[in-house]
Amino acid sequence: MPWMFPTVMKNLFRGPATRRYPYKKREPFEEARGKVSWDMVKCDLCHDCERICPVGAIVVDEEMKTVTYDPFLCVYCSKCAESCFHGCIIVSLNYCEPAYEKSVDVFEKKEVPVEIT
């Protein structure tokens, strides 16, 4: 037990190693893999992300012109964002927050507004 003494003394004056979490949050790292979202102006509903997703968390519906994303099924590998040819998948740095009920995110296709001159 005496060998522990220096560590004990150090810890006595060092303060807590943990953060006061809800009040003080750590900034996410630069390349963290978090929730993904779609820029539906760029998206052309090509099914690439749906095919590449290892868990099938993405469903592209061409008739309804929607992309359905299930953040509770997603494993946050961000493979979809890498594979997207148009670069329309945006990876946020924050992970999916806990929720009482599972839900899906639905993104609807937006047409590019035509500029009238």
Partner 1 sequence: MAKVVVPFGPQHPVLPEPVHLTLVLEDDVVLQAIPAIGYCHRGIEKLAEKKPFQQVPFLVERICGICNFMHAMAFCQAVEKLVGVEVPPRAKFLRVIWAELNRVRSHLLWLGLLADAIGFESIFMQFWKIRESVIDLIEESTGARIIFSTNIVGGLRRDISGELLTKIDRVLKQIRPEIEELGHVLLNDYSIKQRAVGKGVLSKEDAHKLGAVGPTARGSGLNVDVRTTGYAAYDEVAFEPTVETAGDCYARTLVRYRETLQSMDMIHEAIVKIPSGEIAGVFEKWPEGEAFELVEQPRGEVFYYVKGNGTINLERLRVRTPTFSNIPPLLHMLVGCHMEDVPIITLSIDPCISCTER
Q: CA torsion 72→78→80→82, rounded to 10°? A: 170
The span from the CA of 100 to the CA of 73, in Å, is: 15
Q: Does 90 bind partner 1 (CB under 8 A)?
A: no
| CA angle (64, 65, 71) in 5-degree steps | 100
The residue (of 26 and 102) whose beta carbon lies closer to partner 1 is: 26
Grouping H, G, I as helix, E, B as strand and the rest as coil, residue 70 is coil
Minimum distance from residue 116 beta carbon to partner 1 (Å): 43
With contacts defined by CB under 8 A, how many residues of the chain interact with partner 1? 20
Instruction: Please pick, from the candidates 9, 64, 73, 75, the single residue that binds partner 1 as defined by CB under 8 A.
Output: 75
Taking CB under 8 A as the criterion, the residue among 3, 21, 23, 100 binding partner 1 is 3
Instruction: Between 85 and 106, name the residue whose CB sits nearer to partner 1.
Output: 85
The number of helix segments (H) and strand segments (E) in the chain equals 3, 5
Query: Which two tokens mark 1?
Result: 């037990």
In the beta sheet, which residues pair with residue 61?
A: 66
Least spacing, CB of residue 62 vs partner 1, in Å: 22
Q: Tokens 């998948």 sit at which residue?
A: 89
Q: Is 12 in the site for partner 1 (CB under 8 A)?
A: no
Is 104 among the residues that bind partner 1 (CB under 8 A)? no
Binding site for partner 1 (CB under 8 A): 1, 3-4, 6-7, 17, 29-33, 52, 54-55, 75-79, 82
